Amino acid sequence: MILRQAPELQTIHWFNTDAPLTLESLLGRVVVIEAFQMLCPGCVSHGLPQAKRAAETFSSDDVCVLGLHTVFEHHAAQGTVEALAAFLHEYRITFPVAIDAPTGNGGPPKTMTAYDMRGTPTLLLLDCKGRIRKQYFGREQDIVIGAEIMTLVCEGQNLGSRTSHAGGRGFGRMKSKQIRGRARVTAP
């Protein structure tokens, strides 16, 4: 398989971060990008909740979850910074979210075009070297996404791109609990 380096995100505004993020600054971590529109039923019911679960499950030392608001329809209804800020607050989205840069001609936004996205929701998985490893359009099961993310985390650790950090939340850092004399592994 020939792996393609992920194009840099082309954005106009960021939420839930002190400074704009770049994919280059995230090298060494697996990056999960959830491309969404706030008026997309699949994004609201599945895509964003799945991204929230990934952000809550994996250690931020190993995995960075990003949202990309990529508006290609209904621009007047969902294209403002204020509307998206209210949406993120109401849906309790706390991971970093960027607004995809418009093309100016009313077509698909710049990052959406650079990644050849077919629509929303789209989930992108980038390995620790910044290469596109998976791109899903539509709904994919949590267990599949979790397994893909963990595979990329382990691959990155095996390549020596990241060191293991004790105390993280990822599956690589599970805690063992004693239950009636038996050890049971649970995620924190």
Q: Tell me the Ramachandran region of residue 123: left when phi exceeds 0, alpha when psi lies from -120 to 50, beta otherwise.
A: beta
Assess whether pLDDT exceeds 60 at residue 27.
Answer: yes
Could you give the number of structural domains in the chain? 1
Assess whether pLDDT exceeds 50 at residue 10.
Answer: yes
How much is the pLDDT for 167? Answer: 37
How confident is the model over 109-142, as pLDDT tens digits?
A: 999 999 999 999 999 999 999 999 999 999 999 9
Burial of 128 (C-beta count, 10 Å sphere; 0-12/13-18/19+): buried
Assess whether pLDDT exceeds 60 at residue 168.
Answer: no
Answer with the residue of higher pLDDT: 11 or 164.
Answer: 11
Q: What is the pTM of this model?
A: 0.82
Counting residues of the chain whose pLDDT is more than 90, the rounded percentage is 71
Please report which confidence band the pLDDT of residue 157 belongs to, taking 50, 70 and 90 as the band edges.
Answer: confident
- The enclosing domain of 110 has a CATH number of 3.40.30.10
Q: Write out the residue range of the structural domain in which residue 18 sits.
A: 4-186
Q: Please count the other Cβ atoms lying within 10 Å of the Cβ belonging to residue 42.
A: 16
For residues 80 and 111, give the distance between their C-alpha atoms in angstroms, rounded to a whole number: 18
